[in-house]
Structure 1
Amino acid sequence: MYSMLCDCGVTDEGCAALASALRSNTSHLRYLNLSYNKLGDSGVKLLSAGLENPLCKLETLKLEDCGVTDEGFAALASALRSNPSHLRELHLSENKLGDSGVKLLSGVLENPLCKLETLWWRRCGVTEEGCAALASALRSNPSHLRELVLSMNKLGDSGVKLLKDLQDDPHYKLQILM
């Protein structure tokens, strides 16, 4: 099942309903796009409660420009640590992720059960420090991430080099780095 609810005024009540659907053992939802809604941390926390369910089979989650900060990212990271094996694509661009959010989500990437293949963190306030955390996480679990988009951040030369070295190393699967 495919659900595209971007820029349509989804509220906490809608997030609670979606979380309930994700917790359902009959949930067939595989793709969820909630980008450009003002979910904020409270909406993402509600949604994260559904993502924790091992029966949740969501493969793609898009939360671009949803007003999420560290508090929401902490809930999302916790949910993905609890149930890391199904999500393949995560789009978090244009949120206030920053280096602290990258560190939270890097903990998810370190998990060998994590199957993320595509990660979008465009215009999120990531710096060289976030790149270092991300590169460390990818070195510890090199087998899945293929596409990483970090454009419009302040990565600095050393941050870009850390990630470019991973892309150039045949031991890692990273094919697309922007």
Structure 2
Amino acid sequence: SVGTRFEDVFRAIVYNPNLKFLSLNCVPHSLKMFSLLGEVLENPVCRIQHLSLMKCDLKASECQEIASLLIKSKNLKKLTLSNNPLKNEGVKILCNALLHPDCTLESLVLLFCCLTKTGCISIGRVLMLSKTLKHLDLGVNLLENLGVMSWWLSGCFFTSDVCQSIALVLTNNSNLRSLELGSNDIGDKGVEMLCDALKHPKCKLENIGLEECMLTSGCCASLASVLIRSKTLKKLNLLGNDLRDEGILQLLEALGHPDCVLEAVGLQINSVAAETWKSLLTVKKKNTRLTLLYQSWAAKKGREVSYNVGDIRAVSLPPTVPVLPRLNWHLICFHMPRKFRHKKSAKVSKQPPPSSST
């Protein structure tokens, strides 16, 4: 229950215009708590932009209260509800609120919320009609393929079949800026569909994450074409894929093209041949704004799940290799728990890349 002391803290928040992030993770919920939250967020003095309610055991029955918060708050831009059993019924209520003209939310995190493909209809409708929503995280939910239109997802049991629907949205919704499909078995066939959409003039995507998507060198020619033709794509994550030297060389050629505007790329380069490594250094010298990412990165705050999400380790590079600055991506790739994977990515050699000859 919410006691007097807790209530006093809430009321004090209203008069702190510098507070931007409010975390109530693991706090027991009640109607009184939501009432106080509504009072805080509705107050014109309140400047809270990110509200986190992770692991609060929220269910569909509480979603009406949460929906009311989304409509009342004029400053709330991000809501994190990860690790709550909202299920499809709860998300449907939230989706209705997201389409309310008074809702200004830009980012919604529903990681591990017990969603299935049945909830895709409501979510797809929001993605097509919402005027403000720019980021939707539905990772680690059993959505499979049916009913999918478009969202930023990792570890959702997708295959290449889903990419046709995603490609359709990419070419029809110019508001989409980031797409995360890591740890899904979409393969080369799925990426080919996405590449056609990424080259469409109406597609304004800036970031795409394809880590551990069972990709091979067979899709690299299409990806290279995207790198040259897209005028908006800034970040591309291809870590954890068996592209081989043949595929990486195709990508490097595109990265060195004068029309390429990419700023960050994640490539598995710890076992490339000397010729490939030399080409990589040449491209980096030619394209000074390009950041090369050699290792995976941890999940952002709000994407935690209640079990170990995998072994994330850096690739050790020899002293002769220039270590480039790491870049915080708009969307961080999430490693799907191994117990949920139905296929394992190809193992990557731990041997460092050969030094280029001077």
Query: Structure 2 length normalisation: TM-score?
Result: 0.43
Question: What are the ranges of 5 or more consecutive residues in structure 2 without an aligned counterpart?
Answer: 1-104, 267-358
SS of 2:190's equivalent in the other structure is helix
Deviation at 1:7, TM superposition (A): 1.2
Per the alignment, residue 113 of structure 2 pairs with 8
Per the alignment, residue 126 of structure 1 pairs with 215
Aligned: 1:66 with 2:66: no
Provide the C-alpha distance between the structure 2 equivalents of 1:87 and 1:21, rounded to a whole number of angstroms.
Answer: 12
Q: RMSD value over aligned CA atoms? A: 1.7
Deviation at 1:136, TM superposition (A): 2.0
Change (3 A) 1:89 1:23: closer
Residue 134 of structure 2 aligns to which amino acid in structure 1?
A: R
Correspondence 1:99-114 to 2 at 5 A: 99-114=188-203
Per the alignment, residue 204 of structure 2 pairs with 115
Provide the C-alpha distance between the structure 2 equivalents of 1:10 and 1:72, rounded to a whole number of angstroms.
Answer: 17
Provide the C-alpha distance between the structure 1 equivalents of 2:232 and 2:128, rounded to a whole number of angstroms.
Answer: 25
Deviation at 1:133, TM superposition (A): 1.4
Residue pair 1:5, 1:35 contacting (<8 A) in 2 also:
yes
Provide the C-alpha distance between the structure 2 equivalents of 1:131 and 1:168, rounded to a whole number of angstroms.
Answer: 15
Deviation at 1:17, TM superposition (A): 1.9
Per the alignment, residue 303 of structure 2 pairs with none
Provide the C-alpha distance between the structure 2 equivalents of 1:67 and 1:177, rounded to a whole number of angstroms.
Answer: 24
Deviation at 1:14, TM superposition (A): 2.3
Change (3 A) 1:153 1:77: same
Aligned: 1:150 with 2:238: yes
Provide the C-alpha distance between the structure 1 equivalents of 2:126 and 2:251, rounded to a whole number of angstroms.
Answer: 37
Residue 39 of structure 1 aligns to which amino acid in structure 2?
A: L
Change (3 A) 1:15 1:27: farther
Query: Structure 1 length normalisation: TM-score?
Result: 0.82
Deviations 1:34-67 (A, max 9, x none): 01111100142xxx1xx5xxxxxxxxx4210101
Correspondence 1:5-84 to 2 at 5 A: 5-24=110-129, 27-44=131-148, 48=149, 61-81=151-171, 83-84=172-173
SS of 2:192's equivalent in the other structure is helix
User: Runs of 4 or more off by more than 4 Å in structure 1?
Assistant: none
Provide the C-alpha distance between the structure 2 equivalents of 1:20 and 1:102, rounded to a whole number of angstroms.
Answer: 24
Which structure's CA Rg is the greater one? 2
Aligned: 1:168 with 2:256: yes
Question: What are the ranges of 5 or more consecutive residues in structure 1 without an aligned counterpart?
Answer: 52-60
Percent of residue pairs bearing the same amino acid type = 34
Aligned: 1:138 with 2:244: no
